[in-house]
């Protein structure tokens, strides 16, 4: 059985993330979507909220498991008994960053393999920071995130 981990912050979950998840689920027997706790990032949603958003928006995909991890991704990979990381690539700058990350992971754990999926063109410009900024300024983000995520974003960013 081929199992892969798609790690990320997912703050918030976007259609770009969901695109990678759906496409990755067709490649692997099981895809673990792993919400990372990164002390260097300042997410607006808790790990539990992010996991809930992912679970709700991937419930129709049978071979998806939503989980979380703290610490090193390579340690989590061992716990999940897989050596395959799935990553989405939007731009050339994403590739440079992800390439460095993939090589670092391979140095930390030599059997780690990273598989890259090009994000679909309609989501290639999306990133969580731009979406949060658009919400804060009253923009319509319905083309970028599912409606439940949009409601949570508006509640979180506009009622503080």
Quote the CA–CA distance of 70 and 37 in Å, as a whole number.
5
Token readout for 88 is 């989405």
Per annotation, catalytic residue among 2, 3, 17, 156: 17
Q: Of the residues 2, 41, 59, 151, which is catalytic?
A: 41
Q: Which of 25, 50, 87, 90 is catalytic?
A: 90
Residue 151: φ, ψ to 5°: -60, -45
Task: Look up 132 and say whether it is catalytic.
Answer: no
Phi-psi region of 81 (alpha: psi -120 to 50; beta: other; left: phi over 0): left
Q: Could you tell me the two tokens for 29?
A: 């027997």
Catalytic residue flag (residue 90)? yes
Phi/psi-derived region of residue 97, left when phi > 0, alpha when psi is between -120 and 50, beta in every other case: alpha
| Structure token pair of residue 43 | 């997410």
Residues with a catalytic annotation lie at 17, 41, 90, 128
């Amino acid at each position: 059985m081929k199992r892969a981990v798609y790690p990320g912050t997912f703050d918030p979950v976007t259609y770009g993330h969901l695109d990678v998840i759906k496409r990755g689920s067709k490649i692997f027997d099981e895809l673990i979507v792993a919400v990372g706790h990164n002390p260097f990032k300042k997410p607006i949603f808790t790990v539990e909220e992010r996991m809930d958003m992912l679970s709700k928006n991937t419930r129709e995909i049978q071979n998806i498991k939503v989980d979380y991890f703290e610490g090193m991704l390579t340690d989590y990979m061992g716990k999940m008994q897989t050596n395959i990381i799935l990553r989405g690539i939007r731009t050339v700058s994403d590739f440079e960053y992800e390439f460095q990350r993939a090589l670092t992971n391979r140095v930390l754990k030599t059997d780690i393999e990273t598989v890259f999926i090009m994000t679909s063109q309609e989501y290639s410009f999306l990133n969580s920071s731009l979406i949060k900024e658009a919400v804060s300024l009253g923009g319509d983000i319905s083309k970028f995130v599912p409606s439940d995520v949009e409601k949570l974003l508006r509640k979180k960013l506009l009622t503080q």
